[in-house]
Chain A
């Protein structure tokens, strides 16, 4: 047995950086797709419910057209996710070999969850007009539930990597393993899960709304388009301000569990009482240059106290610090975009409630067109904050990323191949979505209204 424990010994991998970038690339491809996977089916189902309730064919058409988008995105989500699970072994065999018994269960349950999702997506999509309307609507509900449980399971793994527990290390061996405790008894899980789930609605809400807002700027603005814009935009507008509040919670959790990550986020070199916060700027030589300083703000935000002590990067040796500027810039990007999206959302809600109509200014719709891609950027920036901020650890303070990597050669070849495949895939997805949106509307013109 003892020979076994060292069977997968750490190796020197010349291309560690490439391996990490390959992992990051695959996430960047997967995450926006699954943001749709967890939220968009709920919107489709809501529209179908409106259709059953009112009998208005407009809703039927809208639900069907969106269903086609769900199918295409789901397929791509599934394959990019499959690649991720291959990469757990292809890139990080030591990580999986040592800790698979601790976190693997999360993925196993996730597997079932996606299984159910795939089954019911099959039934839902091919069941239009084949099942009774009620049965069809009902067949969509498991998709929403499994989208949630699936993301819950994966994120419980990620939260465990950030705040590991539920096992003991003895002489390099993992013993005393309690997988349920490791995955679900983890205080770090909850903010990540809620923040990501809401991010899913923000991303799909703004991206879908952006499509129709773009159409409006081009003069496509019938009853159909207005409905198709208002539903996702209302969700996103409500979710965006809430995300700021959840983000504050996330930051306070990070402050207590991963002080070094927080220090990197803020560019705080030395442990300080009453620490200030810096907006913008560039971290160099132990301080933030060219930033706007807000005194005491960090202590106040992170610990709710004017003079609270905030740990700086100096609490760990330089080799154990993450790359500060990447983390900082990613974080500021997310927060900046998050604030703008929240303001846009509040503006929309104000007009909607006070004037009881949709906004009319072209500027508003230009802003919505921008909000779509920006929401995706915020999503990715948030994950970069979390993942790069955890460096140099793959399992926080337990296993360095360098010990997890594969000994196989040829990483650059794989990386290049994958990059090409993803570029093609992105073009393909853009092409098919364009095609689907160009398909002629099939409601009779007189119902389309003006």
Chain B
């Protein structure tokens, strides 16, 4: 039980990553196929605007999965990363390019610059989910043996199952993104964009479903045991759940009920992740079970405690972010410019603070650099931090030179805000 718990965390994280970051990748897909012209510009702009506040938080799910996984199942992690080094490296480069595009976009001024950066973003947005999906396919079809780079460098991930899962990952992302963007456009009261994304959601939903069902034939020939588990074993229930949730989403999008559609789309995708896990349970890699691969007892206990404690802080914060983003608090300026307290900062250097700062410095040197004991070093470091902080507080209020102490602005001056 304890040995499987971190795996459950990883799968939950993976499902969240697929759903949340998937939508983010998909936004890149729609930017790519938006074409040209002012309408296409609006599609791109909307895709960017919806994702910019949340992409980093969405992305961290991947980091979460990686770190929990390598702590709890270190040998499995090492085996996967050494055999699948090529697709994982491609995914990493894709992630770098995507993040760079987010960072660079804020500096663009000319349409050409904007378009080239969006192009970079879009290509990376296709590359990354495909590569990650191909890795999932490789593991699911038992092509990653335990050991340092024991599996084949190319055929492990360039095979029918991997390609199928890779394509499915791209299609799913596009579908999720379209649902999310339609919901955002509806919230922003933009009927034209809403119609556009609704049509895209319906179309890509149907295509994704078709690929998934057609893919069963690929699995039948290429990964027969996986196929067998999915259609006849424990995983069948998740397959059915996914089909039901997927169809429900289509119906909801058709009925323009986008809010619930977000959740049912997420459910459909999570069911696939769960299905993968159930189909393979209890092995992680061929011949290597969860029981055998798990880290020692103490590590697992501390890890589980850390994840639960971290989750207790994390989820409320995440809820806050999404509430602000999804209820449109980030869309329009609401609060006016600040009415400052209008306090005047003195330009002189407070004597007392300077003296305390110097005292801290002297104490710090004595405790850290002359004394030898551990407790003295701790106090010494604290004193030196005290020197920096108090010294800063002593010096900064009078930041500007003598003649021009900071004064409060005249009452009739406009209060600036960007």
> Residues on A close to B: CB < 8 A?
1, 4, 7-11, 50-58, 60-61, 64, 68, 71-76, 78-83, 85-86, 88-90, 93-94, 96-102, 104-105, 107-112, 114-116, 118-123, 125-133, 142, 174-180, 187, 190, 194, 198, 201, 223, 226-227, 230-231, 234-235, 238-239, 242, 245-246, 248-249, 304, 349, 352-353, 356-358, 406-410, 414, 417-418, 421, 424-425, 428-429, 431-436, 442-444, 446-447, 449
Contacts and interface: CB of A to CB of B under 8 A. Distances in A.
A443 B314 contact: no
Task: Tell which of B72, B314, B321, B370 has the most Cβ of chain A within 10 Å.
Answer: B321
B71 interface: yes
13 contacts: A7-B146, A7-B288, A60-B417, A100-B73, A104-B71, A109-B310, A115-B57, A122-B325, A227-B400, A357-B402, A421-B93, A421-B96, A429-B103
Interface in B261-300: 288, 292-293, 295-296, 298-299
Interface stretch (B27-35, B199-207, B343-351): B343-351
A129 B335 contact: yes
B310 A112 contact: yes
A87 to B, nearest CB: 8
A98 B413 contact: no
Nearest to A118: B56
Contacts of A190: 377-378, 381
Interface of B: 52-54, 56-57, 59-60, 62-64, 66-68, 70-75, 77-83, 85-86, 88-89, 91-93, 95-100, 102-104, 106-109, 146-150, 153, 288, 292-293, 295-296, 298-299, 302-303, 306-307, 310, 313-314, 317-318, 320-321, 324-325, 329-330, 332-335, 337-345, 347-349, 354, 361, 364-365, 368-370, 372, 374, 377-378, 380-381, 384, 387-388, 391-392, 395-396, 398-402, 404, 406, 408-409, 413-418
B68 A108 contact: yes
B298 A86 contact: no
B355 to A, nearest CB: 12
B107 A7 contact: no
Contacts of B74: 96-101, 104
A238 B70 contact: no
For the residues of B in contact with A, the DSSP-based class is: helix
A89 B60 CA distance: 17
A436 B106 contact: yes
- The 7 A-B pairs at the shortest CB distance, nearest first, are namely A55-B340, A89-B81, A104-B71, A100-B74, A97-B78, A57-B416, A79-B99
A97 B77 contact: yes
A242 B369 CA distance: 11
B338 A444 contact: no
Contacts of A226: 399-401
Contact of A101 (B56, B88, B299, B377): B299
A119 B68 contact: no
A435 B107 contact: yes
B71 A100 contact: yes
A289 B371 CA distance: 34
Contacts of B368: 245-246, 248-249
A406 B377 contact: no
Nearest to A357: B401
B63 A111 contact: yes
Contact of A223 (B56, B86, B404): B404
A105 B303 contact: yes
Given A8-B78, A98-B74, A417 B93 contact: yes
A88 B416 CA distance: 48
Nearest to A132: B335
B399 A436 contact: no
B171 to A, nearest CB: 24
Contact of A242 (B302, B377, B387): B387
A407 B145 CA distance: 13
A198 B364 CA distance: 15
Given A55-B408, A82-B96, 18 more contacts: A8-B75, A54-B340, A86-B92, A89-B82, A98-B74, A100-B73, A104-B74, A111-B67, A112-B313, A119-B318, A126-B53, A131-B335, A231-B399, A235-B388, A246-B368, A356-B402, A409-B153, A434-B107
Contacts of A80: 96
A93 B317 contact: no
A227 B345 CA distance: 13
Contacts of A120: 317
Nearest to B296: A177
B373 to A, nearest CB: 12
B148 A94 contact: yes
Nearest to A69: B106
A127 B334 CA distance: 10
Contacts of B324: 123, 126-127, 130
Contacts of B399: 226-227, 230-231, 234
Nearest to B74: A100
B104 A432 contact: yes
Contacts of A56: 340, 406, 408-409
Nearest to B60: A115
A428 B93 contact: no
A369 to B, nearest CB: 20
Contact of B295 (A51, A89, A100): A100
Task: Tell which of B74, B313, B388 has the most Cβ of chain A within 10 Å.
Answer: B74
Task: Tell which of A7, A86, A120 has the most Cβ of chain B within 10 Å.
Answer: A7
